[in-house]
């Protein structure tokens, strides 16, 4: 849907290039979930993002998290 950018970010919806701020969970063992173990992934709400380790910039939206993920 169409939402103002500020509202989307408050709901944990980020786009490529956004910097994740606020509440997030770092996925400590991404390889266990079929993700590249050398990359950094954050879970924000029910979404998984691949992010730049240094800047927290979103590189990709991976998808929705399954129940019980980290």
Q: State the DSSP H helix or E strand holding residue 51, giving kind and residue range, or none if neither.
A: strand 47-51
pLDDT value of position 3: 46
Predicted confidence at residue 64, as pLDDT, reads: 75
Per-residue pLDDT of the chain (70 residues; tens, 9 = 90+): 454 555 455 555 899 999 998 889 999 999 998 999 999 999 998 899 999 999 999 999 988 765 455 4
pLDDT tens-place string over residues 15-31: 999 999 888 999 999 99
User: Global pTM?
Assistant: 0.75
Count Cα neighbours of 66 within 13 Å in the Cβ-side half-sphere. 5
């Amino acid at each position: 849907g169409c939402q103002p950018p500020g509202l989307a970010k408050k709901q944990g919806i980020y786009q490529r290039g956004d910097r994740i701020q606020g509440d997030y969970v770092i996925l400590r063992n991404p390889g266990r979930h079929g993700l590249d173990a050398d990359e950094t992934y954050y879970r924000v709400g029910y979404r998984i993002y691949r992010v730049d380790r240094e800047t927290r910039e979103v590189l990709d939206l991976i998808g929705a998290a399954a129940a019980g993920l980290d």
